[in-house]
Chains A and B, each alone.
Chain A
Amino acid sequence: MAKIIHYRDKCIGCGVCFEMQPEIWRMSKKDGKATLLRGIEKKSIHILPLHLSIETLTIEVAKACPVKIIKIV
């Protein structure tokens, strides 16, 4: 299954991912960065299996991220 990878350290907190896809993104009140809901963290990189039903939208979100820190592999 494809995965969403979020390089959270580099997030600038613009909020576009949350605006487009609130199902899996939240803006952290603690540090102002986006958080990938239910993502598993490894060395500050967050990973979540990509369900087919949200694939198209997630690709759009990855494209929209201004600092290109959302990858789909």
Chain B
Amino acid sequence: MKEREIELLSPAGSFESMQAAINAGANAIYFGVEQLNMRTRSSNSFEINDLKEISGICKKNNIKCYITLNTVMYEHDMQLLLSILQEVKKQAIDAVIAADFAVIQYCKQLQIPLHVSTQANVSNIEAVQFFAQFSDVIVLARELTLKQVEHISKEIKRRNIRGVSGDLIKIELFVHGALCMAISGKCYLSLHTQNAAANRGACIQNCRRSYTVKDTETNEELVVENEYIMSPKDLSTVDILDQLIYSGVDVLKIEGRSKGADYVHEVTACYREAIDAVFANNYTEEKKTNWLERLSKVYNRGFWEGYYLGRKLGEWTNIPGSNATERKIYLGKSTNYYSKIKVGEFLIEAGNIKEGDELMVIGPAIGMAKETMNTLIVNGEKAELAAKGDKITFPFPTKLTGHDKLYKIVKP
């Protein structure tokens, strides 16, 4: 296939995930700050003061960074919103992702590039034409089929619909991660049951639990094939990515700002390889199997390809949590790094390690890195087992900062 520019956009809910995305080959990252983003409850959001560092790291690594301001906005949010946008402008964050008209209007006034969030549920070319007055990228509704996406991308070229920057408007699709049963994430389940507004980022995920259906007159429970009747499997398109790219999409987005650096690294790496393989004409079945295997190792509820191939929502998960074939168990934290000999020292705070164990290190400066414990050195001497309170050392290529955590990878 002829090379054209495809942007791989990865989630960054923390500095660790951001570095993992950069290492694994993302072209851009997106993140949220304060309480005005859709992952307020599930992840420790960045703060306004972090924008400078985020922008600096991304510019240094030559990738773009986008800030999500995609919640419902209330009157009392306007001052905070404005303060965030002024800082966005000052720190030259590349774009804002939003759906609320207040944010759209402020971005226009402040001349900040805007991407229209999937929350806006853009599902047809007229809506694209409308939002093109304010934006440069439009994240299409995740309920569209690839035929519909293809039609929209062809029409953009035919009608020559250009965004604020003067370039043709770009379209973005979700390629991987959690889906929910609500249309474009507009869900009121949490609000009804727990007063927790999902559209303010406080979703408590009650759709992920199991349910029964009961006849209240007879008290008889109806037989439901799958009790997780509101929890769809996760989206994965790594094995139909060529079709997505042919449909004319410009930006491929990975969901998961509340997921860890190991998830961001693995998923970003698989999709990076898949995009490159499509353009190099070696997008093979063997590779697809390998990517799916690797994607199954990290957090997932089982996979289906979403609505893109025209299937109706019928792929329900059968578990409350993750189906991942690998888990990470916390062991300890970094305490020292010997730069000259490139050896890291860790203090074990939980669990134990023996030779041959697969280890994972997650840190703000290194993202995620995997190591195999070849020779176990405990408190300066060779040993068979390291346990709580021990200090272990092993060769590690990247400088540790003292904020790095060590995990053991196990099969559940």
Contacts and interface: CB of A to CB of B under 8 A. Distances in A.
Given A66-B195, A66-B197, A67-B41, A12 B76 contact: no
Query: Would you call the interface of chain A mostly helix, strand, loop, or mixed?
Result: loop
Interface string B58-91: 0000000000000000111111110100000000
B287 interface: no
A43 interface: no
A45 B77 CA distance: 21
A64 interface: yes
B77 A32 contact: yes
A31 B196 CA distance: 20
A14 interface: yes
Contacts of A29: 76, 78-79
Contacts of B194: 66
A66 B190 CA distance: 9
Interface in A1-25: 11-16
Contacts of B202: 12, 14, 66-67
B223 to A, nearest CB: 34
Contacts of A32: 34-36, 74, 76-77, 79-81
B108 interface: no
Interface in A27-44: 27-33
Contacts of B34: 31-32
A12 B200 contact: yes
Please classify how large the interface on chain A is, using the bins under 10, 10 to 19, 20 to 34, 35 or more: 10 to 19
B71 to A, nearest CB: 9
Contacts of A13: 35-36, 74, 76-77, 80, 200
Contact of A12 (B41, B79, B81): B41
Contact of B201 (A12, A27, A31, A64): A12
Interface string B287-315: 00000000000000000000000000000
Nearest to B191: A66
A66 B196 contact: yes
Nearest to A65: B195
Contacts of A33: 35
Contact of A15 (B40, B74, B196): B74
Most buried by B among A11, A28, A32: A32
Nearest to A34: B76
A63 B40 CA distance: 19
A33 B36 CA distance: 11
Interface of A: 11-16, 27-33, 64-67
Given A27-B76, A29-B78, 14 more contacts: A12-B200, A13-B35, A13-B74, A13-B76, A13-B77, A14-B197, A15-B76, A32-B80, A33-B35, A65-B195, A66-B41, A66-B194, A67-B196, A67-B202
A-B pairs with lowest CB-CB distance, top 4: A66-B196, A27-B76, A32-B80, A32-B77
22 contacts: A12-B200, A12-B202, A13-B35, A13-B76, A13-B200, A14-B197, A16-B195, A27-B75, A29-B76, A29-B78, A29-B79, A31-B34, A31-B79, A31-B80, A32-B36, A32-B79, A32-B80, A64-B195, A66-B195, A66-B196, A66-B202, A66-B204
